[in-house]
Structure 1
Amino acid sequence: MTAHAPAVAIASRAEHVQRITTPGGLEAWLVESYAVPLVALEFAIRGGAAQDPQDKPGLATLLAGTIDEGAGPYDARGFHRAIDDLAIHLGFGADRDAISGHMQTLSRNVDEAFGLLKLALNDARLDKHDVARVRSQLAAELKRDVNDPDAVASKAFREAAFPNHPYGRPVRGDLATIETLTREDLIALRERLFARRDLKIGVVGAIDAQKLSDLLDATFGGLALQNDLAPVAPITLAHVGERRIVDLDVPQSTIRFGRPGITKRDPDYYAAVVANHILGAGTFTSRLFTEVREKRGMAYSVYSHLNEYDECAMLIGAAATKNERAGEAIGVIAEEFKQFAEKGPTEEELDKAKKFLIGSYALRFDTSTKVASQLVNLQLDGFEPSFLDERNGKIAAVMLDDCRRAAKRLLGDGDLLVTVVGKPAGV
Structure 2
Amino acid sequence: MIRFVFAALLSVAAATAQAEVDIQEVTSPGGINAWLVEDHEIPFLALEIRIEGGASLDLAGKRGAANLMTGLLEEGSGEMDARAFQTAREGLAASFGFDNYDDSFSVSARVLTENRDEALALLRAALIDPTFDDDAVERVRAQVLSIIASDEKNPNRIAGAAFDAAAFGDHPYGSSLNGTAESVAALTRDDLITAHRNVLTRDRVYVGAVGDITAQELGVVLDDLLGDLPQSDAPLPEDVPFGLAGGVTVVPFETPQSVAYFGHQGLKRDDEDFFAAYILNTILGGGSFESRLMTEVREKRGLTYGVYTYLVPKDHAEMVIGSVASGNDRIGEAIAVIRDEWARIASDGVTADELSAAKTYLTGAYPLRFDGNAPIADILVGMQMTGLPPDYVINRNDYVNAVTLDEINRVAGELLRPDDLHFVVVGQPAGVENTN
Q: Residue 90 of structure 2 aligns to which amino acid in structure 1? A: D
Q: Residue 333 of structure 1 aligns to which amino acid in structure 2? A: I
Whether 1:144 and 2:144 are equivalent positions in the alignment is no
Distance of aligned partners of 1:89 and 1:305 in 2 relative to their CA distance in 1, 3 Å threshold:
same
Query: For 1:82, which of 63, 81, 88 is the aligned residue?
Result: 88
- Once the two structures are TM-superposed, the CA of residue 109 in structure 1 deviates from its matched residue by 1.1
- In angstroms, what is the RMSD of aligned CA positions? 1.4
Q: Residue 271 of structure 1 aligns to which amino acid in structure 2? A: A
Give the secondary-structure state (helix, strand or coil) at the position aligned to 2:114: helix
Distance 1:82 1:231 in 2: 35
- Once the two structures are TM-superposed, the CA of residue 166 in structure 1 deviates from its matched residue by 1.4
Distance 1:419 1:363 in 2: 35
Distance of aligned partners of 1:11 and 1:47 in 2 relative to their CA distance in 1, 3 Å threshold:
closer
Which residue of the partner structure matches residue 279 of structure 1?
Answer: 284
Which residue of the partner structure matches residue 423 of structure 1?
Answer: 428
Q: Residue 392 of structure 2 aligns to which amino acid in structure 1? A: F
Which residue of the partner structure matches residue 111 of structure 1?
Answer: 117
Whether 1:94 and 2:88 are equivalent positions in the alignment is no
Which residue of the partner structure matches residue 210 of structure 1?
Answer: 216
- Once the two structures are TM-superposed, the CA of residue 61 in structure 1 deviates from its matched residue by 0.9
Distance 1:412 1:422 in 2: 26
Whether 1:55 and 2:43 are equivalent positions in the alignment is no
- Once the two structures are TM-superposed, the CA of residue 11 in structure 1 deviates from its matched residue by 6.0
Moved more, 183-192 or 272-281: 183-192
Q: Residue 190 of structure 1 aligns to which amino acid in structure 2? A: H
Which residue of the partner structure matches residue 189 of structure 1?
Answer: 195
Give the secondary-structure state (helix, strand or coil) at the position aligned to 2:14: coil
Give the secondary-structure state (helix, strand or coil) at the position aligned to 2:169: coil
- Once the two structures are TM-superposed, the CA of residue 351 in structure 1 deviates from its matched residue by 0.2
Q: Residue 198 of structure 1 aligns to which amino acid in structure 2? A: R
- Once the two structures are TM-superposed, the CA of residue 149 in structure 1 deviates from its matched residue by 0.7
TM-score, with length taken from structure 1: 0.96
Query: For 1:6, which of 14, 37, 49 is the aligned residue?
Result: 14
Which residue of the partner structure matches residue 45 of structure 1?
Answer: 51
Distance 1:295 1:165 in 2: 40
Distance 1:197 1:8 in 2: 34
- Once the two structures are TM-superposed, the CA of residue 395 in structure 1 deviates from its matched residue by 0.4
8 Å contact from structure 2 (residues 339, 418) kept in 1: no
- Which digits, 9 at most, give the CA deviation of each residue in 1:370-389, with x for residues without a partner? 11011111111122211111
Q: Residue 146 of structure 1 aligns to which amino acid in structure 2? A: E
Query: For 1:326, which of 323, 327, 331 is the aligned residue?
Result: 331
- Once the two structures are TM-superposed, the CA of residue 6 in structure 1 deviates from its matched residue by 3.5
- Percent identity for Structure 1 against Structure 2: 42
Distance 1:205 1:136 in 2: 38
Distance 1:198 1:7 in 2: 33
Distance 1:328 1:84 in 2: 53
Q: How many residues align?
A: 424
Q: Residue 115 of structure 2 aligns to which amino acid in structure 1? A: N
8 Å contact from structure 1 (residues 7, 365) kept in 2: no
Q: Residue 161 of structure 2 aligns to which amino acid in structure 1? A: K
8 Å contact from structure 2 (residues 18, 367) kept in 1: no
Distance 1:195 1:53 in 2: 16
Which residue of the partner structure matches residue 220 of structure 1?
Answer: 226
Give the secondary-structure state (helix, strand or coil) at the position aligned to 1:228: coil
Give the secondary-structure state (helix, strand or coil) at the position aligned to 1:176: helix
Query: For 2:413, which of 388, 408, 411 is the aligned residue?
Result: 408
8 Å contact from structure 1 (residues 149, 422) kept in 2: yes
- Once the two structures are TM-superposed, the CA of residue 265 in structure 1 deviates from its matched residue by 1.0
- Once the two structures are TM-superposed, the CA of residue 10 in structure 1 deviates from its matched residue by 5.5
Give the secondary-structure state (helix, strand or coil) at the position aligned to 1:409: helix
Whether 1:347 and 2:352 are equivalent positions in the alignment is yes
- Once the two structures are TM-superposed, the CA of residue 413 in structure 1 deviates from its matched residue by 4.1
- Once the two structures are TM-superposed, the CA of residue 422 in structure 1 deviates from its matched residue by 0.5
- Which digits, 9 at most, give the CA deviation of each residue in 1:110-129, with x for residues without a partner? 11111011101111111121
Q: Residue 44 of structure 1 aligns to which amino acid in structure 2? A: R
Distance 2:149 2:51 in 1: 29
- Once the two structures are TM-superposed, the CA of residue 7 in structure 1 deviates from its matched residue by 7.8
Whether 1:266 and 2:271 are equivalent positions in the alignment is yes
Runs of 4+ in 1 over 6 A off after TM superposition: none
8 Å contact from structure 1 (residues 279, 287) kept in 2: yes
- Once the two structures are TM-superposed, the CA of residue 274 in structure 1 deviates from its matched residue by 0.6
Which residue of the partner structure matches residue 23 of structure 1?
Answer: 29
Which residue of the partner structure matches residue 3 of structure 2?
Answer: none
Moved more, 3-12 or 263-272: 3-12
Distance 1:86 1:194 in 2: 24
Structure 1 segments unaligned to the other structure (5+ residues): none
Which residue of the partner structure matches residue 362 of structure 2?
Answer: 357
